[in-house]
Structure 1
Amino acid sequence: MSLQMDAAELMEFLNEVFPQVQEDFAVEGLSETEISMRLCVQEKHLRPGGTVSGPSMFALADCAAYAMVLARIGRKALAVTTSCSMDFMRKPVAGGDLIATCKLLKLGRSLAVCDILIHSVGQEAAVARASMTYSIPPTR
């Protein structure tokens, strides 16, 4: 199966269905099996000390996996996260943007499995890792 949405279409759809986070994320790259997504860090994403909060990193991982799945299956807003395991490995760079690289490991009829690594921009070592499973709505 090839891409059903390109980066611009993904961002348009995400902004339409999740207007509350319209300025938070940007697609940096997209292929049939991988997406890179940026968290455009703002004050609301920071915890005391100026580093990006865990919930913001979770949101980035979740959004990257959701976008990867949608890129392959098309405009299906009801695809939902069914499972997530996340490891926070090191402190992100204070106030800097984060990049999530999401790899689609499996795309079935009803489930998709993704692995996500999150890095601070300009840093090689990952700050977090997530494994996510999405439920895909049945085709009618």
Structure 2
Amino acid sequence: MPAVMTAEQLTSFMKEVFAQVADDFAIDDVGEGEITMRLLTQDRHLRPGGTISGPAMFALADVAAYLVTLAMIGPQALAVTTNCSIDFMRKPQAGVDLVARARLLKLGKQLSVTDVMLYSVGLDAPVARASLTYAIPPRKMAV
């Protein structure tokens, strides 16, 4: 099943619905059940020790899972995270973007399950891996 929303449409949707954080992210590519995007890291995303913070990494994984789900089902602002597990594997580099490669493992009527790998630009090995489940709101029937 091909994506029903493009990178441009997803970006516009984020700016409309999540204006407070939309400018933190950029979408590089949207494919069938996949998205590549990045956290445009700034000083506010860093923790003591000069590395990207865990909450910033979680935010990227969560937004990637959300947007890859929406890319396949269309704009559903009320889709919500129901579960997330994240493994922090390596120290991300400060001063470079953090890239997420998200892949839908399952897309059903009520849930989507996504695997997200996070990479620091310039490093081949992933810095984190996350598994997220999203609840998809029921579609309203036309009367």
Q: TM-score, normalised by structure 2?
A: 0.95
Give the Å deviation of 1:14: 0.7
State the distance in 2 between where 1:128 and 1:106 align: 21
SS in 2 for 1:126: coil
SS in 1 for 2:60: helix
SS in 1 for 2:11: helix
* Residues 65-97 of structure 1 deviation map (CA, whole Å, 9 limit, x = unaligned): 000000011111000000001000010012211
SS in 2 for 1:96: coil
State the distance in 1 between where 2:46 and 2:107 align: 33
SS in 2 for 1:56: helix
SS in 1 for 2:127: strand
SS in 2 for 1:4: coil
Q: TM-score, normalised by structure 1?
A: 0.97
For residue 18 of structure 1, what is the aligned residue in structure 2? Answer: 18
Asked whether the 8 Å contact 2:2–2:31 carries over to 1, the reply is: no
* Residues 42-80 of structure 1 deviation map (CA, whole Å, 9 limit, x = unaligned): 111011122100000000000000000000111110000
Asked whether the 8 Å contact 2:3–2:33 carries over to 1, the reply is: no
For residue 107 of structure 2, what is the aligned residue in structure 1? Answer: 107
For residue 76 of structure 2, what is the aligned residue in structure 1? Answer: 76
Q: Which amino acid aligns with 1:15?
A: K
State the distance in 2 between where 1:124 and 1:76 align: 34
What is the 5 A alignment of 1:1-140?
A: 1-140=1-140
Give the Å deviation of 1:22: 2.3
Give aligned pairs, total: 140
Q: Write out the 4+ residue segments of structure 1 that deviate beyond 2 Å after TM superposition.
A: none
Gaps of 5+ in 1: none
Asked whether the 8 Å contact 1:34–1:103 carries over to 2, the reply is: yes
Asked whether the 8 Å contact 1:46–1:95 carries over to 2, the reply is: no
Gaps of 5+ in 2: none
Asked whether the 8 Å contact 2:92–2:119 carries over to 1, the reply is: yes
Asked whether the 8 Å contact 1:76–1:137 carries over to 2, the reply is: yes
CA RMSD of aligned residues (A): 0.8
